[in-house]
Amino acid sequence: MLPSFLPLLASPETGGPLTLTVRRREGEEIIEGSLCDDAGQSYPIEQGIPRLLPREMREAQISEIAARDAQVEDYDRMAFLNWFGKVEIPLTRQALGALPADILLEAGCGTGRMSQILAGSVREMVAVDFSFESLRVAQKKLRAAGITNVHLAQADLCSLPFACGAFDRVVSCQVLEHVPGPEARAAAVASLARVVKPSGTLALSAYKHSLLTKTFGKKEGLHEGGIPFFRFTKTELSETLSIDFKVHSITGALVYLYLARCTREQLPA
């Protein structure tokens, strides 16, 4: 973690500021240390990554973290995602419309499949996931590619540890469908809206309940390892996002995903 990350961070519990204690540095980077919030709760920094999960999480999310940590190597071996990304990533970038001066949040970055590409279009980027092992893989990839404008943090989408309006844009790909239940999904969308600036953009993709899945698949259930999933109808995705965002478009062009482009409305005066 670089010291320049601190001004963007806030407590996942109180939303208040965090105080940094450094135990080990390598050059500029803080490798071991802690962040303490205004209520006295301490969050560790381990292997250069701040671990900012809230104290209480839903049971289904705790088991998803264990499954994602265990499956981290399998994720990158999914050849299908590599070729699908050649269409998915350009379409996602188009929906996001990032500018060189932007600060971007990637919410649910996994092993960093998109992070390197996204980092090239902005000034600074923060990539979060609740799977620490996924973040460690993303960290290795970013270091190997010499990318220095990406901050990583372990965080839950439902309680993002950032200051209000910290980001110009937010991108979240194939994550919301894994957030279990309508209440948690609404909390995740509200949390994304809180951290993006008024008029800022959200590009979000999520599983589509298509004719194929209506005929042969399930609307919701569990993937291997107990990872929860939910397939949205277009109306469901629009309604979920519309509570906190203005939805400009939802395209079904990405085969099994919907891709939505939204903006955060100006806050009332």
Ligand X SMILES: C[S@@+](CC[C@H](N)C(=O)[O-])C[C@H]1O[C@@H](n2cnc3c(N)ncnc32)[C@H](O)[C@@H]1O
SS3 content of the chain, % helix, strand, coil (to 5): 35, 35, 30
Q: Which helix (H) or strand (E) holds 74?
A: helix 72-76
Q: How far is the CB of 85 from ligand X (least distance, A)?
A: 8
Which of the 8 DSSP states describes residue 268? P
Distance (Å, whole) CA 150 – CA 96: 17
Residue nearest to ligand X (CB): 110
CB 60 to ligand X: min, Å: 10
Which structure tokens are listed for 126? 């923060």
What gap in Å lies between CA 131 and CA 65, rounded to an integer? 5
Q: How far is the CB of 213 from ligand X (least distance, A)?
A: 16
If the CB atoms of residues 139 and 174 are measured against ligand X, the closer one turns out to be 174
Q: What does the DSSP assignment read for 107-123?
A: ES-TTTTTHHHHHTTSS
Which is nearer to ligand X, 253 or 267 (by Cβ)? 253
Q: By CB under 6 A, what part of segment 64-93 binds ligand X?
A: 64, 68
**Closest separation between CB of residue 26 and ligand X, Å?**
26
Of 45, 52, 98, 109, which lies in the binding site for ligand X, with binding defined by CB under 6 A?
Answer: 109
Instruction: Provide, rounded to whole angstroms, the least separation between the CB of residue 194 and ligand X.
Output: 15
Q: What span, in angstroms and rounded, lies between the C-alpha atoms of 144 and 75? A: 19
- Distance between CA atoms of residues 45 and 1, nearest Å: 8
- Residues 72, 85: Cα–Cα separation, whole Å: 18
Nearer to ligand X, 187 or 247 (CB): 187
Q: How far is the CB of 9 from ligand X (least distance, A)?
A: 16
Nearest CB to ligand X, comparing residues 25 and 194: 194
Closer residue to ligand X, CB minimum distance, 34 or 205: 205
Residue from the set 11, 34, 71, 131 that interacts with ligand X by CB under 6 A? 131
**SS3 state of residue 264:** coil
Q: Which residues contact 19 (CB under 8 A, 6 or more apart)?
A: 35, 36, 37
**Cα–Cα distance for residue pair 250/231, rounded to 1 Å:** 14
Of 34, 71, 134, 191, the residue at the interface with ligand X (CB under 6 A) is 134
Q: Is the Cβ of residue 38 or residue 121 nearer to ligand X in the bound state?
A: 121
The interface with ligand X within residues 145-204 (CB under 6 A) comprises 156-158, 173-175, 178-179
Tokens of 30: 């803080």
Min CB(57)–ligand X separation in Å: 8
* Contacts to ligand X by CB under 6 A: 61, 64, 68, 108-110, 113-114, 129-131, 134, 156-158, 173-175, 178-179
